[in-house]
Structure 1
Amino acid sequence: MTNATSIGPKPPIVLSEEDYDRLTGLAEAVEDRAPAIAEELQNEIDRAKVVPLGAVPADVVRMGSIVEYRAESGPAKRVTLVFPGDADIADGKISILTPIGTALIGLAKGQSIAWTARDGRQHQLTVLNVEQPPAPPAAEE
């Protein structure tokens, strides 16, 4: 028996204009060396509702967000979604170019999405909490 699962439609997602522009450029930049990853990222970008940065709700995952999520019935994980050059799994910073990173972008607290791992297995993750990064400290005079 094959492991076929009815996944259903993907949930609606929201991207800021800034993230949309930067992620579109990133998808184009990696298209030649990582076509599957570029295609998956572009598919997510294409289905997003694009809004000005100030109109993105605080509980929506955007670049730099700190996200708590649970995959299937596993333990909750807390990560920061970053661009590839800032990724450091030991520090909890995951790249947008990972399957989980691409799945998380634009989701809101409480939303779930199916995603495919690099080994081809299907997984489901649910966003438990979203925090936006703290503003950089003001320079001391």
Structure 2
Amino acid sequence: MIADAPASLRPAIILADKEADTLLELAIALSDRCPDLCRMLADEVDRAKIVAKSDLPSNVTTIGSIVRFHDEGSGAVRTVEIVYPSQADIALDRVSVMSPIGAGLIGLSEGQSISWPDLQGRYRRLSIQRVTNPSKSDER
């Protein structure tokens, strides 16, 4: 079982209203396959500040964001795109929001850090260095 840090020790996060609804639906739909991760994602949505998409700051990690982050434990710097599970492809650095890294990064802003468990349940401190979001013209 993946243990998680109390919400009071995690940084504030922001989610767009419709994306928050979609994430909760995903967590419920996949709860039989990955209950711990789904619970953690649902907890993140529950504690998030929910705003209209038009009010979401441009430096907040959302689905479709390209995120450069630093793993403080290993020293590695990675750049990934946060995507829905059906679009995930690790070879293309497309990380599912339903993976430990994806669930940990969603809603964070540039400059924020979070201690978040990996697949083995070990906590890693992830620090967001840059968030690039699709332009408004790319939105459907």
TM-score relative to the length of structure 2: 0.88
- 5 Å-filtered alignment, 1:12-27, equals 12-27=12-27
One-letter code of the match for 2:44? E
CA RMSD of aligned residues (A): 1.4
State the match for 1:119 in structure 2. Answer: 120
Deviations 1:43-79 (A, max 9, x none): 1111100000011100000111110000115231111
Deviations 1:110-131 (A, max 9, x none): 0000001111211100000000
State the match for 1:57 in structure 2. Answer: 57
* Matches of 1:86 and 1:68, distance apart in 2: 19
Q: Name the SS for the 2:58 alignment partner.
A: coil
Q: Name the SS for the 1:67 alignment partner.
A: strand
Listed as ranges, the gaps of 5+ residues in structure 1 are 1-7
Identity %: 40
4+ residue segments displaced more than 3 Å: 134-137
One-letter code of the match for 2:54? G
CA shift, 1:34, in A, is: 1.4
* Matches of 2:37 and 2:30, distance apart in 1: 8
* Matches of 1:120 and 1:23, distance apart in 2: 22
- 5 Å-filtered alignment, 1:28-43, equals 28-43=28-43
- Tell which deviates more after alignment, 69-78 or 24-33: 69-78
One-letter code of the match for 1:121? R
Listed as ranges, the gaps of 5+ residues in structure 2 are 1-7
